A and B are shown apart, each in its own frame.
Chain A
Amino acid sequence: MSTPPQSDAEPILETRGLTKKFGEIIANDDISIDVRNDELRSIIGPNGAGKTTFFNQIAGVLPSTEGTVHFKGRDVTDEPIEERAQLGLGRAYQSNELFFEQTVFENVRVAAQTAEIGEFSFDVFSRARNFKADRAEELLERLYLSDERNTEARNLSHGDQRRLGIAIALATEPDLLLLDEPTSGMGPEATEETASLIKELRDELDIAIVLIEHDMSVVMGISDRITVLYDGSHVATGDPETIRANEEVQEAYLGGMKEEELEL
């Protein structure tokens, strides 16, 4: 993780004409975006706009009906999830997806281990307990989870669980991190903390981050660029100011918003 920031570099992620149909329903239609390799990108849009579906297509959880996904210049459209993960695509889920019966430490350690040993390793006799332990400890520290090190994940509070999800994703040493509503379910203070954490992570680790978010204060505060999806279609992409000013976006998404809320 030591490449210097290079703003106009090759995009790390390119989607071309990405489309997803669930039977009759078109969840995403012809979405083409590029994400630069040090960018912090937000995706916003009303509920049901297809944001999570879009993530699922990028990560390989859902096969795309049409279109291609290129990651680090490589066509990964038909690669399975684990292949993409090994390539450096990290993902934290919208609903808390964790290894609930393992300790917080083990959750992160095993993710770090996978990054090290690859998608499959028949290493049956070395000892796992301290394997990549340092890396795990480091991440726990970073995400304020060290105190909960030995707690089983299911016993964490909701906000801590969300942070653990991010820690797991980070442990896989991603070059691109997808975060689905990282602040939902967090109180205002925690939301603020998380937002600045995300920004710091990007700066420190020098990775690209794409996040889905409904909380406009977060979105407007930390994003380099914002992409707006509406009803499965790409409406606009641009920096926060442009998006705020975009009339179509106003109409489609922000329109119902009171000034007070935008400031909250």
Chain B
Amino acid sequence: SASPGDGDGEYDGSIHIGAVEPFSGVYANLGEAEVQGAELAIQDLEEEFDVDIEMSEADTEVDPDVGVRRIEELTTQDGIDVAFGGVSSSVAIAMGQWASRNDLAYIASGSHSDATTGEDCGQYMWRTASSNTMLARTAGQAMAEHADSWALIYADYTWGQTARDAVTAALEENGAEVVDTISAPLGADDYTSALNQAESSGAEAMGNITAGADTTRLCQQYLDSGLAEEMKTGGVLLEDEVLWSLGPEGVSQMGVWATVWGPSVQSGQMEEFVQRIRDEYGTTAYSRHYLGYQSVDQLVRAVVRAESVAAEDIRQELDGHDYTDVGLLDGTQQWRECDHQNVKPTYAVRARDADDMVDEDGERIWFETVTEQQGEDVMRSCDETGCSSDWT
């Protein structure tokens, strides 16, 4: 592989990948899951091609400052050729901007914020995960079918605010009414106030526009307050793991959600993927495993095609590239040139009845797929993104 700090773009059959993920802090488990997925991808790729792949990990914590320092360190010190990772969008964006300035190809595997492929898009930053808008539109349609009027509780930060607007638009487009939008601080410990307001709005359902631990808490309190008997619910971003702690009974009341991918979506070779994750790591695969796998898979393939690790060469390969997943989903996906967003299906899922859930041996398939939206149908148009994409 390349020696420390050379970054000369020469490719000699070995690829050094940097995994810049939160291994500590609130998102540590998500970062861990992405790395697990990535490890599987490396196994597969080494088998498929005659390449030698090395992965160096670095902990970004939940701090853009640390993230930038780590990706810089991996680049100058460990001599990585390409990088992926990042959960919280502020960290991912900071790293993506850094990568773009420093000629390093980087895939922000797990940040959903629109800004990542919008106003904060970067020349050498791509995003595997579905964007906020993609999720919101998918969710909006399913939610509109689930209930006619909604009160939306959103986490009061960039992601939550944009998701709120997107969901509102999607709901209204699909004939549902948004009665009230209620803010709750990011990292709130208590949603009673918001739930009270949702209840008093008279809406038929409560929309959950939060992420991570916030989702867990809001769902838990929704159940505890007995609101579940009066109002339906649904949400915009499901990462299965955050709901595991509610237990099957609780989750059965969780209504419809959008997700990047979930263990219930076992099309293509995903069944095998779920099985492998369970065998290797003893846990149920969920979106993060998938994103980690896909990010590494795509990076390596681009390098192999380009026979170069130079960011610009990789960009030539990736931009506008159509591909069919090997080892994952069916169908064709694309790297959109204008904003570096991965054009991919986004799913709406619905909680099963507790009796219908698969819940054994660490396998937790608690949702069922209701719709699969094709990427192009739910993405923002290139114009809408606000990405100033004159890459050359």
Tell me if chains A and B make direct contact, with any CB pair below 8 A.
no
